Amino acid sequence: MANVDFDVPAKGGFSFDLCRRNEMLMKKGLKPSSFLKTGTTIVGLVYKDGVILGADTRATEGPIVADKNCEKIHYMAPNIYCCGAGTAADTEAVTDNISSQLKLHRYHTGRESRVVTALTLLKSHLFSYQGHVSAALVLGGVDVTGPHLHTIYPHGSTDTLPFATMGSGSLAAMAVFESRYVEGMNRDDGVALVRDAIRSGIFNDLGSGSNVDICVITKGHKEYLRNYEMPNPRTFTSEKGYSFSKKTEILTAKVTPLRELVEVIEAGDAMEE
């Protein structure tokens, strides 16, 4: 048999090499780093012309809000978007990975990506990591076969649903959906219902908060409405500005607007990688 030049494909499944190293480090006293979770409300529903996805924008690290306005609706393909709940790094990485696989597939086939393709790629990936990749996703899009909405759980199981919610605020959002969803809604009613479900999550769940993001996908067209609604504005900043206590005698006052000190070169050299 001639010497083969191609790479033998990897055996697949989770590689446990780093587990021994982690155990060794823990024995030496290293505390495991806390990870950024998206403790979240994400929803999706199918309406007359397509699919509407919604998400809140709070990312938590334990009890602290790490990011007040993060983006949880990820791009997969021009006609497919995916909301992610769970560990932020996992949702980001897995959606990016499958998004690039979809692009290569589009070049190879010359056709628009289908939602079931993204679904199968995601579920195979998550299953092979046996639930260690903590990503719970709501995948929605419109392709040649019609509108589709799926949920994907961290262990790799999927559901096909007319309406779906995931994340810590999923019960609050599901309560809104179960009581008000009907099939074949028009765009305005659908967006209003998604907005109300996310608001329910924002105001009734501690892991969700800040703003409402919405993405409307129809045949051949998509609308990414970042910060569609901002029901938690910052209202406590004082307009008076800084005032000194009464006993302080102001000798001179000079106000230097900082913007003028920094020169922004528009067409500067990009950083060398």
Q: Please, which residue, 120 or 130, has the CB nearer to another protein?
A: 120
Taking CB under 8 A as the rule, does residue 65 contact another protein?
no
Mask 157-186, x = binds another protein (CB under 8 A)? -xxxxx--------xx-xxx-xx---x---
3-state secondary structure of 207: coil
Applying CB under 8 A, which part among 82-90, 196-204, 217-225, 250-258 lies near another protein? 196-204
Taking CB under 8 A as the rule, does residue 114 contact another protein?
yes
* Min dist. Cβ of residue 16 to another protein (A): 28
What is residue 210's DSSP assignment?
Answer: S
Contact 42, 83 (CB under 8 A): yes
Q: Edge to edge, what strands does the sheet with 146-152 contain?
A: 73-77, 80-86, 135-143, 146-152, 158-160
Give start and end residues of each alpha helix (H) in the chain: 17-27, 88-109, 115-128, 170-180, 187-204
Mask 130-149, x = binds another protein (CB under 8 A)? -------------xxxx-xx
Helix (H) or strand (E) holding 222: strand 221-229
Q: Please, which residue, 87 or 200, has the CB nearer to another protein?
A: 200
Catalytic residue list contains 256: no
Q: Report the candidate in 199, 197, 193 with the shortest Cα–Cα distance to residue 47.
A: 193
Taking CB under 8 A as the rule, does residue 193 contact another protein?
no
The Cα 170–Cα 172 span in angstroms is 6
Applying CB under 8 A, which part among 68-76, 82-90, 104-112, 199-207 lies near another protein? 199-207
Which positions from 208 through 237 interact with another protein, judged by CB under 8 A? Answer: none
The Cα 46–Cα 41 span in angstroms is 17
The Cα 62–Cα 76 span in angstroms is 28
Taking CB under 8 A as the rule, does residue 156 contact another protein?
no
Residues taking part in catalysis: 40
In the complex, which residues of this chain contact another protein (CB under 8 A)?
Answer: 46, 114, 116, 119-120, 143-146, 148-149, 158-162, 171-172, 174-176, 178-179, 183, 196, 200, 203-204
